[in-house]
Copies of this chain bind each other. A is one copy, B any other.
Amino acid sequence: MISKRQEEILKVIVEEYIKSAKPVGSESICNNMKCSSATVRNEMAELEDMGFLEKTHISSGRVPSEKGYRYYVDSLMKPKNMSGEEMLKLQTIFKNTELDLNDVITRSIEIISEITAYTSVVLGNSSSEKLKKVEVIPLNDVDLVAIVVTDKGHTENKKITLSRIDINDIKKMVDLINELLVGTPIDEVSSKLEFEIKPVIGKYVKQHEMIYNAFYNAFSDFAKSSSSCYFAGKTNILKQPEFNDSDKIRNIINKFEDKNIVDNIEETNNGINIYIGSESKLDNDVTVIKTKYDTEDGEGTIAIIGPKRMEYSKVVSLLEYIKKEIER
C-alpha cells in the first residue's frame, strides 16, 4: 500500500512536472519536505516499483506515469480556486443576458482556451430535438428544397431533383409527414417514416417509392449532421513542449480533422470525466477532461484537450463552474 509520505512525494512530483515539464529529481523535492534527498530517493524507487512513476532514462529524474496521474487525480488533487481575473471574464459572459445559450457556451470555451492555453471543444448534441415542421419550396420545374425545422429552431435542407413527378404528390407527402410525425425526436424520424408513412403513402401518391427515398435521405442527412462541433484554440495544444515533433503535430491535427473525434469524445457520463493518455482514445500524450451539460434547450458536451501534464485542478474547477452556470 502507498504510504502517507509517498502520497505527498507523488503529489509534489506531479505538480512540479506540470509546471516545468522536466523530470523531477530528488534534490529539488526535499526542500519542500522534512527529510533528506536520500530518503526521497528511496521512496521514489518504491513508487516506481509500484508503477506510479517512470524514468526517461536511468539517471534522470522521475516523471509521473499514467497510473501516477490517475492516482493524483483520484486521490490527491485539491480543487483550485480560480483567480479573480479569470472569474471576472467568465462572469461578464454569463451575466450578459443578450447572448443566447449557444453564444454563451461558445464564448465561454473561447475564454477557457485563452486562460488555460489548451484546446476546447463543444459538441452540441441535438438528438433530443423534435420535428416541428417540414416545408417544401419548388425552385423550378424539376428542383425543390425540402426544409426540416425542429422545435429548437434548427433547420436542415436538402435539394431534391425529381423529374416526371407531380408536385401535388410531393405536397401530399409533406402534409402526411406534418400530420403524423410532428413532435417525433429527430433521430427517430427515419424509422417512423419507414413504418408509419411508407405503408400509407401508396394510397395517396403514385410514384411513392421515389419520393419516399428522397425524404428518407433528407432525414438521414439531418440526423447525421445534427451534432455540431465547435473548437476553440485548436492549435493551442501544439504549443506545449511535448508536441515539438512535427510527426506528432500532424497526428494530432489529423485527429482533430477526423469526424470520429465527435464519437470518441461524446460518450460521457455525468460529472467531470478525466481521460488520461491512452484512456483518451485520441493520442497517448493528451488528456481529455470533459463534462456533459443538460439544459432545456438540449444537451451537449464540453471537452478540454491538453497534454497529460495538464493543470488538472484548475481545469476541473473551470468546467464545474461553467457546467453549473450553463445549466442555470
Which residues on A are within 8 Å of B, measured CB to CB? 100, 132-133, 135, 137, 139-140, 143-145, 147, 149, 151-155, 157, 159, 161, 234-235, 238-239, 243-246, 249-250, 253-254, 257
Contacts and interface: CB of A to CB of B under 8 A. Distances in A.
Contact of A250 (B137, B157, B238): B238
A197 to B, nearest CB: 21
A152 B145 CA distance: 9
Most buried by B among A100, A137, A143: A137
A137 B145 contact: no
A178 to B, nearest CB: 11
A246 B238 contact: yes
Contacts of A250: 235, 238-239, 249
7 contacts: A100-B159, A132-B137, A139-B152, A145-B153, A147-B149, A149-B157, A238-B246
A210 to B, nearest CB: 14
Complex A-B, nearest 4 residue pairs according to Cβ-Cβ distance, in ascending order: A153-B159, A155-B157, A145-B153, A249-B249
A243 B132 CA distance: 50
Given A132-B137, A235-B257, A238-B253, A147 B155 contact: yes
B139 A145 contact: no
Contact of A137 (B135, B137, B157, B239): B135
Contacts of A144: 153
B149 A155 contact: no
A145 B154 CA distance: 8
Nearest to A243: B246
Contacts of A238: 246, 249-250, 253
A134 B139 CA distance: 13
